[in-house]
Amino acid sequence: MMPPGHIATTWAVALALQKKNPKLARLDYRGLAVASMLPDLIDKPLAVSVFTEAETSQLVAHSVLVHAVVLVGALLFRRKSLPYVLAFNGHLLLDRMWRHTESFWWPLFGWNVFWRFKAMNTPESMVSVYLDIITRYPRVWIVEIIAIATIMWVTIRHRLYRRNVFRTFL
């Protein structure tokens, strides 16, 4: 999934949950956006600088083990961070990582085993793969258009088009 999809889906779920649970009224949407993108924000630089032979950019932060450790840590020590941890964990669902078992179950299959999709170990190759995905698979456009519409809806709902409100949001 592309970045707008991760952020929009997370925000839509948060908005729906806020209606059901007043304790969630003070969620920080910036934190949710960062948390929903955190696996990519961690793994993409690792793919370029550390795991240059991995041929993927879905590495350590896309592992269920890492997500389980973060979730258990939040449950034991910092329950207030749970919505953000769930946004972080939701990234695995949105990327359908269970279909990429070597990365999903890392390090169960070994420390240096990552699934091979396409070479994504340079910024140029990452852009190339994203362009290939959006041109080859039209359904990606549908998801991303819905995602952008959701982000626009959140912007309108929270009046983020007003400069002072947007500054406060940031």
Highest mean pLDDT among 40-54, 76-90, 117-131: 76-90
What is the number of structural domains in the chain?
1
pTM over 0.85: no
Interval 80-91 mean pLDDT: 90
Using the predicted structure, report yes or no on whether residue 112 has a pLDDT greater than 70. Answer: no
107: preceding bond cis by omega (within 30 degrees): yes
Containing domain of residue 76, as a range?
A: 3-169
- Measured CA to CA, the distance from residue 165 to residue 3 in angstroms comes to 23
User: What local confidence, expressed as pLDDT, does residue 115 receive?
Assistant: 45
CB-based contacts of 142, cutoff 8 Å, min separation 6: none
